[in-house]
Structure 1
């Protein structure tokens, strides 16, 4: 229940919206800026949405606070929630504008209570997100950007809405899992590279290695020391590893693997897993079995803690993307999603 709506339509609360962004209107809802104080109401709404749509995950209060409130990498952002006459949250929308390799992206997220669907609220919020993104981009002096929306492949109604708004599918995502009951290969990286446990003292060195490894990747972000530490509510250091090249007296980070432990998702997806969040190898060490060794080491750690599967996600510019190394290691697809984009 939200009781702090004050009727304002401009000047959002700190961290809620960009300067000049206006609240959406209509549909019998009171629209207000979404802030950390209303995060519990957002999770209440997400629970109803996820119960109905049944994705293989469930958003926790802590996860939502990280995902929807942390703004360190954003050039600007706007976040709103719609409340009915009884104080129940019924819809939300978020847009974040951030620089990535090659362009700015306006990352759009939103949802409508299943009981309030088929009344045009989703289309209204999508239009609001595009206008808000343009306002934020203008304030940042950016002419060109891409609006980005992720949808599950079975959400055909949402995909139709996006196509009608001028969006086209541009990336295809596949979640994969690997049965840890199956044998794992013995793999060692070439040269004087060793796979070592996660070391907090090397965290910033891993950040710099990540920025180097992903500097030319589609949508790659250059992390600051602040943004690198965001989104770690479920980071599992005991399942994370660093590949160090000890050719010289001063070890260099050749690659890294960071894992997450999402216990709240296990019941919904139907199995336990260690999830590989980020895997990166710097160009100088590619082709030296570093990625393979990191993956196998992580899988052994997952298995040692009783996990049934290893999980990860891959993306491709085509729907029939090649799974390459992951397929060779025994990973199999479990679900698919799409990224839709359009100029904004």
Structure 2
């Protein structure tokens, strides 16, 4: 929907002619990231994640996925700083998703090797990222809000100071929650007329459309097109994923997608199944469908020997999801913060 009080985003983005290149004298050579950097980038990402207290570690397939999708152009949307020995010491990637309609967003992601911090590299990377992000936002002539967004761990206090100094402000908080599978699971049968079926390829498009409808009223959510929906599946666990089908109409009423992140188990000290996405379409809400999907997932996790179920949730989710998870025994463990500049 167009907001008549706003001018076109292209007029508000304040985009530079070119993103500011990191200055000389930092001891690094700068170039775009390449797909064949995936393993080196993974090592850098892991070093950043460890230093920032992240409860996860990026795997090589996930790093490779950063180059997938027609909306990614590594030659213009990424940068990396390489030292004299050819080691990647800093990186940035800016992503604007093609499906955004209500708020046009540019996501800024970057990091600096802990051994290279405190030299001004982080400021330079952030300045480049903001400049490129503003360029991507300026491609839109829609009279809708724009957002430059950065997600960081709450424990990454130095990064928080860097973002604050650059004009970013914390606007949203996301909790990682876990639930022990050693504790008894509640009974949560699906509502009458709803059948839970295993994830299958022939339901993919129906689930995508159900997702877009289910999340249309969620803060920060935008519709996903078919290509976006199919991306970032390297850790997808279809055997732990479920679709709720209305028996009378054959429509998808809800769904739960799970991920299997084995590389994160040692970091956390336990094995777990991860709830990637959980959605219920408005016409099927308040009938107990979400709990039945969660219990089905937890049952599958436990059957495969997992010790915990883990999920992430917007702490201010207006659907009451946070309270639902607490009632099912989930407890908050880590927090992520989204900093942004709103345009």
Change (3 A) 1:100 1:282: same
Contact 2:193 2:248 in 1 (8 A): yes
Summarize deviations over 1:212-244 as a string: whole Å, max 9, x none.
111232221212221111000010011000000
Contact 1:21 1:78 in 2 (8 A): no
Alpha-carbon deviation of 1:123? 1.2
Change (3 A) 1:169 1:53: closer
Alpha-carbon deviation of 1:75? 9.8
How far apart in 1 are the matches of 2:340 and 2:220? 12
* Backbone CA RMSD of aligned residues: 2.2
Query: Does 1:187 find its partner at 2:185?
Result: no
Q: TM-score if structure 1 supplies the norm length?
A: 0.88
How far apart in 2 are the matches of 1:75 and 1:343? 24
Query: Does 1:24 find its partner at 2:22?
Result: yes
Superposition map of 1:244-255 within 5 A: 244-248=245-249, 251-255=250-254
Change (3 A) 1:245 1:322: closer
Change (3 A) 1:22 1:157: closer
Contact 1:178 1:309 in 2 (8 A): yes
- Tell me the SS of whatever aligns to 2:96: strand
Summarize deviations over 1:10-65 as a string: whole Å, max 9, x none.
xxxxxxxxx95564343121100112122222112223323433422111110111
How far apart in 2 are the matches of 1:315 and 1:80? 30
Match of residue 324 from structure 1: 323
Contact 1:93 1:108 in 2 (8 A): yes
- Tell me the SS of whatever aligns to 1:310: strand
Superposition map of 1:151-300 within 5 A: 151-248=152-249, 251-300=250-299
Contact 1:195 1:241 in 2 (8 A): yes
Superposition map of 1:24-103 within 5 A: 24-26=22-24, 27-66=26-65, 68-72=66-70, 78-98=77-97, 99-100=99-100, 102-103=102-103
Contact 1:188 1:293 in 2 (8 A): yes
How far apart in 2 are the matches of 1:260 and 1:72? 24
How far apart in 1 are the matches of 2:216 and 2:321? 22
Summarize deviations over 1:69-91 as a string: whole Å, max 9, x none.
12345699611110011211110
Contact 2:148 2:342 in 1 (8 A): yes
- Tell me the SS of whatever aligns to 2:187: coil
How far apart in 2 are the matches of 1:254 and 1:269? 33
Q: Which runs of 5+ in 2 are unaligned?
A: 1-16
Match of residue 4 from structure 2: none
How far apart in 2 are the matches of 1:288 and 1:303? 25
How far apart in 1 are the matches of 2:211 and 2:86? 44
**Higher mean displacement: 211-220 or 92-101:** 92-101
How far apart in 2 are the matches of 1:212 and 1:61? 32
How far apart in 1 are the matches of 2:277 and 2:70? 19
Q: Which runs of 5+ in 1 are unaligned?
A: 1-18
How far apart in 1 are the matches of 2:118 and 2:64? 28
Match of residue 136 from structure 2: 136
Change (3 A) 1:159 1:20: closer
